A = this chain, B = another copy of it.
Amino acid sequence: MRVVVPFAAEQPKTRLDGFLTAAERREFADAMLADVLAAIRESGHEPELLATAPIDRNVPTIVDERPLTAAVNAILETDSPVAIVMADLPLATPAALARLFEASEDVVLAPGRGGGTNALVARHPDFRVDYHGTSFLDHREGARRVGASVGTVDSFRLATDIDEQMDLAELLVHGEGTARAWLDRAGVRLVRDEGRVGVERTENG
């Protein structure tokens, strides 16, 4: 099965501005991507990148500068199964990905927090994505509309996309890979408050 990882090569992780510089956001996005690619390989699949601009990652890369939804839908125009795995899932494990890849339904969705879809497998030629809005609900409805069976993968690790400063705490609590090491080097540390934990920056890495 093709496993395709969309990657915003040019201005990644804009919602982390204010906490990380533009150059740091690129480094951090690269580190998260490295973790995702490694987890996919360990799950027994060979990842491909779907990048908005040419990048040099030693991975087969499709360059498509269109917005995410259009670029992914071009990939889905096939009769073969395709997996789409977001690049900002540094907590993804081979085991969690295997649950996704091995589920048997025509369309398998790994929900992200806040109604998103962080990873999916499409085995139905008519299924298309729309990443705007509450994409999990839209994808479930869209799959049913084309007559595809729908499954979900109940994974905290796949649900945890890293977009905002508070998300970094999840990576510091649960991460063990390249992106976690990048945060450590950048001096990003957990702050334990009354409620959920947050992060602070104790030095300028």
Interface residues, chain A, with chain B CB atoms under 8 Å away: 15, 93, 95-96, 111, 113-116, 133-134, 136-137, 154-160, 163, 166, 169-170, 173-174, 190, 192, 195-197
Copies of this chain, whole number: 2
* Selected A-B contacts with CB under 8 Å, 9 pairs: A113-B113, A113-B170, A114-B169, A116-B196, A133-B197, A137-B173, A154-B156, A155-B156, A163-B195
Give complex CA distance A167, B157 in Å. 17
Please tell me if the beta carbons of A115 and B155 are within 8 angstroms of each other in the complex: no
Which 4 pairs between the two chains have the least Cβ-Cβ distance? Answer: A114-B196, A156-B159, A115-B197, A133-B192
Residue of B nearest to A167 (CB): B113
- Which residues of B are found within 8 Å of A155, using beta-carbon distances? 154-156
> A111-B174, A155-B155, A173-B115 given as contacts; is B190 within 8 A of A134 (CB)?
yes
A155 to B95, CA, bound (A): 12
Whether B154 and A95, one on each chain, are in contact in the complex, defined by CB atoms closer than 8 angstroms, is yes
CB of B197 within 8 A of CB of A114, answer yes
